Structure 1
């Protein structure tokens, strides 16, 4: 099956907003990976992360404002709103976990955190490619993206479970509480990416 064009000129803005958001979330994921692998000047990088988070909020507000003013949209209004809101959650969680590392003064992130950061960046990159293909549905290509997104989420689940089993054997209760919170947040980011993927899959089913 070939691809289906949805765009009419006045509706391009909705896809443009989604793609702007996608680029922003990927910037945040890449920045977070950089922060944990090279924590020097972490405070300055945290300021950059906060700026990305604020820009993300502005994109959500722009999308919601335009949806309220529009009678016709290229895809279902509720799907557009859900997609934008859920992907903003990913950005918010990346910002939050980066800030937790800062607040808890974890100056040398461990290899587990670095591995999560790598998974998150890869998963966000896959979500972005799927998002950008919403303009023209190429079902097989999108299915390949979906499989990779789910595979990375499963990888994060396994990493999370193994890490907690090891963490609970440690003696320091304060460290256990702090690190569990961080690992939980990191795993939740991959869950949020999968939530975005599920909305995209639903859009494909409705419009392919």
Structure 2
């Protein structure tokens, strides 16, 4: 049996998995915004999103705390810190989009928003399933290739959605909706950022 310098470094992987799990839950809550029309129901979803954002912050802080207190880490300290921050960015943008729906008292979201949220949900699921593979750094290329494909799809959809918004003569409505769809687009970009970070780590560790 090989001698192991690190008694148990699995905690980092576990925390990354926890963070990604929160993202899956947040994506489900975003889907709920499309299904719930009454203000009280949407306010409840927004509150759950805030709770998930706090949980995500706690996981991020714990990862950083363990990086600072660990003599040996499973891979580069800066990469661990950067990956944790990238995961946190995904949550922040999703929570922002939900919060804006509540703050702007939106009753009807543009139909195209459903496609945005569908893409984000798929990205969240892929990210969650990729986290356990960080232990071996194996079988990850399909993950980041698919995330990049989805992000390109999200970009195209976002541009078409914004173009459609500007056909509405109500300038205030357009500004509100653009804020929301831009926050969702930023979430998709952040998921690609996670995938790019993991690709970089995999290359270093190969």
Query: Does TM-score exceed 0.5, indicating one fold?
Result: yes
CA distance in 1, matches of 2:149, 2:61: 32
CA distance in 2, matches of 1:120, 1:145: 14
Deviations 1:27-82 (A, max 9, x none): 11111112223344111122111111111111111111111111210111111100
CA distance in 1, matches of 2:7, 2:121: 32
CA distance in 2, matches of 1:133, 1:38: 36
Partner of 1:3: none
Q: Which runs of 5+ in 2 are unaligned?
A: none
**Alpha-carbon distance, 1:202 to partner:** 0.5
Indicate the SS of the match to 2:194: helix
TM-score by length of 1: 0.91
Partner of 1:196: 194
1:163-202 residue pairs with structure 2 within 5 A?
Answer: 163-202=161-200
How big is the alpha-carbon RMSD for the aligned residues of Structure 1 and Structure 2? 1.6
1:113-124 residue pairs with structure 2 within 5 A?
Answer: 113-124=113-124
Please say if 1:37 is aligned against 2:35.
Answer: yes
Change in CA separation of 1:117 and 1:142 when aligned onto 2, cut-off 3 Å: same
Q: Which runs of 5+ in 1 are unaligned?
A: 1-5
**Alpha-carbon distance, 1:197 to partner:** 0.5
CA contact (8 A) 1:130 1:200 kept: no
CA distance in 2, matches of 1:39, 1:110: 13
How many pairs are equivalent? 201
TM-score by length of 2: 0.92
CA distance in 2, matches of 1:49, 1:106: 17
**Alpha-carbon distance, 1:9 to partner:** 3.8
CA distance in 2, matches of 1:156, 1:116: 6
CA contact (8 A) 1:15 1:135 kept: yes
Indicate the SS of the match to 2:140: helix
Partner of 1:13: 11
CA distance in 2, matches of 1:165, 1:110: 12
